[in-house]
Chain A
Amino acid sequence: MVAPPDTSEFRVAVEVLPTVVLVLVAGEVDLATAPAVAEAAHRGAAEANGDSPLVLDLSAVDYMDSSGLRMLNELRTGFGDRLALHRPSHAVVRVLEVTGMAAHFSRVEAY
């Protein structure tokens, strides 16, 4: 089948700020797109100085499945306490809560 035009195109962007590496994610995070989020996070961290915190802004994620969760868990393993989520959307929180993982991720309100 041919998919109709996207209503929520996946996008990921990295901003290396003086005190934080910010990864902005929008659209759907699944099997096809989760690797790009991890790649962006690693790229941003490599550009940054030393041990900058890594903040994932997930406010515009309108779908995330277990592929996204696996990716988040891998980032958590790699970055430890440096990783924090900013405003995870309902779709993200749903998966974190149903799988019992919500408490394992730090959150930041501002960055």
Chain B
Amino acid sequence: MGAGAEAVQLIHRPDVGRALSSPAAAEFVLRADRVAPRSARVALRRLALGSVAHRLLDVLLCVGEAISNAVRHAYPPGSSGEIVVKAWTHEDGLAVLVQDRGRGFDPDGDPSREGVGLRLMRRLADVVSILSRPGGGTAVLMVFRA
């Protein structure tokens, strides 16, 4: 099953779907530059993470990696773009969506070419779903269970 189908399935799961259809606890737009990961971490630290507060470092790492990937790969060198971050807090956990409108990639491509950042995300988040296609931007959804 491709990563896209996995994300769609995930969104249709009652628990995740309910969380994502509710208003985000935080939503912010970052310029895709080298300080973007830090800006997101500062914002997340100010958000009451409640049920996943004990996993704060892992949450910060995963979100930082998703944003770093967008900064490094989404937009052509020398051009600027935006990264949208949305976070939903829930008694069962936390969902974070990191989205860019950049060049995208084939998420079903060779997994051995995955970077360390994505490997870290897959190890530390309970769910990592990537929706992307060449030219169509990238959305990374991460779920951290309580």
Which A residues contact B (CB, under 8 angstroms)?
A: 1, 3-4, 28, 30-32, 63, 65-67, 69-70, 90-91, 94-95, 98-99
Known contacts A1-B29, A1-B43, A95-B61; A32/B120 CB under 8 A: no
Give bound CA distance, A69 to B115, whole Å: 12
Name the B residues within 8 Å of A65 (CB-CB): 37, 61, 64-65, 68, 117, 120
Residue contact B124 to A98, C-beta cutoff 8 Å: yes
B64 smallest CB distance to A (angstroms): 5
For B38, give its contact among A3, A66, A69, A91 (CB under 8 Å).
A3
Closest chain B residue, CB of each to CB of A5: B42
Bound CA span A21–B2, Å: 49
Q: Does B71 contact A (CB under 8 A)?
A: yes
Whole-angstrom distance between the alpha carbons of A99 and B61 in the complex? Answer: 13
Q: In the complex where A66-B117, A99-B119 touch, is A32 in contact with B37 (Cβ < 8 A)? A: yes
Which range contains the number of B residues in contact with the other chain? Answer: 20 to 34
Can you name 11 A-B residue pairings with CB atoms under 8 Å?
A3-B38, A3-B39, A30-B37, A30-B38, A31-B37, A66-B116, A66-B117, A66-B120, A94-B61, A95-B61, A98-B123
5 more contacts with CB within 8 A, not counting A3-B35, A66-B116, A94-B58, are A28-B41, A31-B37, A32-B34, A65-B37, A66-B115
- Taken together as a complex, chains A and B put the C-alpha atoms of A94 and B61 apart, in Å, by 10
| Bound Cα distance from A36 to B34, whole angstroms | 13
A6 to nearest B CB, angstroms? 8
CB distance from A25 to the nearest CB of B (A): 15
Structural contact, A63 and B29, CB atoms closer than 8 A: no
Please report the C-alpha to C-alpha distance between residue A24 and residue B115 in the assembled complex, in whole angstroms.
27
- Residue-by-residue, is B28-65 near A (CB-CB < 8 Å gives 1, otherwise 0)? 11100011011101110010000000000110110011
B28 partner residues in chain A, CB cutoff 8 A: 1
Q: A residues within 8 A CB of B61?
A: 63, 65, 94-95
Chain A CB within 10 Å, residue with most, of B58, B72, B116:
B116
Kindly state the separation between the CA atoms of A99 and B121 in the bound complex, as whole angstroms: 10
Give A8 to B59 CA distance when docked, in angstroms: 18
